[in-house]
Copies of this chain bind each other. A is one copy, B any other.
Amino acid sequence: MSNRARVLIDCEDAKGLVYHISKVFYDRDLNIDNNREFVDQEKSRFFMRTVVTGDFDAQSLRSELVSVVPEDANVQVIEPQPKKIVLMATKESHCLGDILIRWVAGEFEADIEAVISNRDNLRDLTHRFDIPFVYISSDDKEREAHEKEVLEVLNGLEFDYIVLAKYMRILSADFVHHYPEQIINIHHSFLPAFIGANPYKQAHSRGVKIIGATAHFVTTDLDEGPIISQDVIPVNHRLEWKDMQRAGRDVEKIVLSRALSLVLNDRIFVNGNKTIVF
Contacts and interface: CB of A to CB of B under 8 A. Distances in A.
Contact of A275 (B23, B194, B207): B207
A210 B230 contact: yes
Contact of A190 (B42, B104, B193): B193
Copies of chain A in the complex: 4
A16 interface: yes
Interface in A4-50: 15-16, 18-19, 22-23, 25-26, 29, 31-33, 35, 37-42
A248 interface: no
B41 A240 contact: yes
A207 B226 contact: yes
Contacts of A102: 94, 97
Given A101-B98, A227-B209, A237-B277, A19 B22 contact: yes
A190 B211 CA distance: 10
Nearest to A229: B209
B192 A209 contact: no
A274 interface: yes
Interface residues of A, number: 65
A209 to B, nearest CB: 4
A111 interface: no
A128 interface: yes
Given A18-B32, A22-B19, A237-B271, A230 B207 contact: no
Contacts of A206: 191-192, 227, 273-274
A145 interface: no
A87 to B, nearest CB: 14
A197 interface: no
B192 A191 contact: no
B38 A238 contact: yes
A19 B15 contact: no
Interface in A189-248: 190-194, 205-210, 212, 226-232, 234, 236-238, 240
Contact of A15 (B31, B129, B207): B31
A93 interface: yes
A234 B234 CA distance: 11
A94 to B, nearest CB: 6
A151 interface: no
A94 B105 contact: yes
Nearest to A47: B237
25 contacts: A15-B26, A19-B23, A19-B25, A22-B22, A23-B23, A35-B37, A38-B237, A42-B240, A94-B105, A97-B101, A97-B102, A97-B104, A101-B101, A104-B125, A128-B128, A190-B190, A191-B208, A192-B193, A192-B194, A192-B206, A193-B193, A206-B273, A210-B232, A236-B277, A237-B271
